[in-house]
Amino acid sequence: MIQDIDIKDLKRITDLVYAKHGYDFRNYAMSSFKRRMLRILEVWGLNIESLLNKLADSTIFIDDFLDEMTVNVTEMFRDPGFWRLLREEIIPGVMLNNKQFKIWHAGCSSGEEVISMNIMLHEMGVKENVKIFATDLDKSILDRARSATYSLKNMETNEKNYVRFQGKTALKDYYTEENGRAVMKKDLLSNVVFQKHDLVLGEAFAKFDLVLCRNVMIYFNQALQNEVLKKFHGSLNKYGYLAIGAKESMIWCDYANRFIVVNQEERIFKKIRD
Amino acid sequence: MTRYSLHNGFKAVVIGGSAGSFQGIIKILSQLPADFPLPIIMALHRLKHVRHGFVEALSIKSKLKIAEPDDKESIKRGSVYLAPANYHMSVELGNYFSLSTEMMLNNSRPAIDITLSSAAYAYKTKLIGILLSGANKDGGLGMKSIHDRGGVTIVQTPAECMIDTMPKAALSLTKIDYTLGIDQIIDFLKELYHQYK
């Protein structure tokens, strides 16, 4: 097993992936990026040179590479207090301005957060007024999100979170068990468009009233976080809300002063200046 | 005063602990002076969904300020940092933290191996790693990283541990410089403190 990768070799890989395939990992946070690269080498039984060869040749391989390099660990109703705050303050706040509104889940991964949002909106009786865009860099994870099918083991954590969220019913009312998997009810995604989008190189593509990007930017370095925050700013209507992860910070970003803190504990911000 | 042949070139102390380590950590923190010269970085196994209360519990008897860092927060001397619930915590080159929600390692998030190994990479010979009581092998490979990069390794004496799986795992994986009880670990850190006076 390879214990460590030289920074120079990491750079060779990110440079090749950028030049050949148009994905930019050059500004990812180093420690977690290196760990995932070590994992790829181990799982696929490659060394640096054979990985570089494979990446130089194959166009199919890049999708597997992206799937391994992006972190796809998430939960429904992760941080139940955050979801309670959305239900009790943020969504009602959005609806003061617009009865119809749009939400962007940036870096939606396997879709747990999208499902959580729609369960919450459904229980609030406003789901049909909301249009949701859910995007990710990783094509195969978007397919998994569209299938809305999860392992029963993960549903235990999700159910516990839902109970702490104090939902109206039980989470099992929203899925059926098929072949040992939890299949979410189809109409839970009726207002959702899943779409491939690259936060790093892609442009802002619409205006939203609420953007969620929780525990995604932690994989970027500060320079990249700064750039991505500008895109979120450009993607929000004035007085729109931005939610980031509970331990993420943007106070040092260029655009931080165009937002006010709505809730520091749950890291929810409101755009107040263009 | 040279039992441990210490110098004043260290950059950080990193501590890992799990089941049975809480009382020991409270005791260590209660004995350290408010002007302890190095950052203390702690990865302790904890409940995933309980975000609050741990820092407060550790702070009761500590003269040092304890905090759960935000992502990309700078590491400062004289501060104690605790890996937040449900996040892995890494040390980056450039002396700051990064957090991640990657899959659990050794059934743990935060995983001690991740904090220790990343700190070993960032600080190399200038790191002291301490591994306390615990019920799984998390931290063993992290201690090996610290040793392999020339840092100092300490485990709590297995006989003193409520559960000795964790220090024993480290002892079987790598060379441990000192096997010490909690009181001796406190002496060690105080002696280190005097190197900086």
Question: CA A133 to CA A194: how far, in whole Å?
Answer: 6
Residues of chain A with Cβ-Cβ distance to B93 below 8 Å are: 30
In a domain, B3, yes or no: no
For the stretch B47-63, pLDDT in tens is 888 888 899 999 999 99
Neighbours of B172 (CB within 10 A): 10
Q: pLDDT tens track of chain A, all 274 residues?
A: 556 899 999 999 999 999 999 999 999 999 999 999 999 999 999 999 999 999 998 888 898 999 899 888 899 999 999 999 999 999 999 999 899 999 999 999 999 999 999 999 999 999 999 999 999 999 999 999 999 999 999 999 999 999 999 999 999 999 999 999 999 999 999 999 999 999 999 999 999 999 999 999 999 999 999 999 999 999 999 999 999 999 999 998 999 999 999 999 999 999 999 9
Residues of chain A with Cβ-Cβ distance to B69 below 8 Å are: 247
Q: Name the residue facing A29 among B84, B92, B101 (closest C-beta).
A: B92
- Whose CA is closest to B43, among B99, B126, B103, B92? B99
Q: Where are the domains of chain A?
A: 7-69, 80-271
pLDDT of residue A41: 94
Question: CA A56 to CA A50: how far, in whole Å?
Answer: 10
Question: With an 8 Å Cβ cutoff, are B71 and A248 in contact?
Answer: yes
CB of B134 within 8 Å of a chain A CB? The answer is: no
Asked if residues A226 and A249 have their Cβ atoms less than 8 Å apart, the reply is no
The larger pLDDT score, comparing residue B164 to residue B48, is at B164
Side by side, the strands of the sheet bearing A208-213 are: A192-196, A130-136, A101-106, A208-213, A236-244, A268-271, A259-263
Write the CB contacts of B54 (distance below 8 Å, at least 6 apart in sequence): B44, B46, B82, B85
Catalytic site includes residue B194: no
In a domain, B6, yes or no: no
Catalytic site includes residue B45: yes
Average pLDDT over residues B124-145: 97
Residues of chain B with Cβ-Cβ distance to A78 below 8 Å are: 86
Q: Radius of gyration over alpha carbons of chain A, in Å?
A: 19
| Enclosing domain of residue B102 | 12-195
In a domain, B143, yes or no: yes
pLDDT of residue A59: 82
The three-state secondary structure class of B136 is coil
Residue A203 phi, psi dihedral angles, 5° rounding: -95, 165
> For residue B1, is pLDDT > 50?
no
In a domain, B1, yes or no: no
Q: Please identify which of the residues B108, B117, B118, B138 carries the catalytic annotation.
A: B138
In a domain, B128, yes or no: yes
> For residue B88, is pLDDT > 70?
yes
In a domain, B61, yes or no: yes
Architecture of domain A80-271: 3-Layer(aba) Sandwich (3.40)
Question: CA B101 to CA A72: how far, in whole Å?
Answer: 9
Residues of chain A with Cβ-Cβ distance to B51 below 8 Å are: 79, 81, 246
Q: What is the CATH number of the domain that holds B106?
A: 3.40.50.180
Angle between the N-to-C axes of helices A7-16 and A48-57, in degrees from 0 to 180, rounded to the nearest 10: 10
Question: With an 8 Å Cβ cutoff, are B73 and A249 in contact?
Answer: yes
pLDDT of residue B7: 82
Asked if residues B121 and B129 have their Cβ atoms less than 8 Å apart, the reply is no
Asked if residues A220 and A107 have their Cβ atoms less than 8 Å apart, the reply is no
Q: Name the residue facing B84 among A71, A74, A247 (closest C-beta).
A: A247
The three-state secondary structure class of A61 is helix
Catalytic site includes residue B88: no
> For residue B71, is pLDDT > 90?
yes
Looking at the DSSP assignment, which residues form a beta bridge with residue A130? Answer: A101
* Interface contacts (A, B; CB < 8 Å): 70
Asked if residues B166 and B136 have their Cβ atoms less than 8 Å apart, the reply is yes
Own/partner pairs for B46-49, CB < 8 Å, 24+ apart?
Answer: B46/B85, B46/B110, B47/B85, B48/B85, B48/B86, B48/B109, B49/A80, B49/A160, B49/A161, B49/A164, B49/B85, B49/B86
pLDDT of residue A47: 93
In a domain, B117, yes or no: yes
Overall domain count for chain B: 1
B 13-52 → A contacts, CB under 8 A: 49, 51
Strand blocks (E) in B50-144: 65-67, 79-82, 88-92, 96-100, 127-131
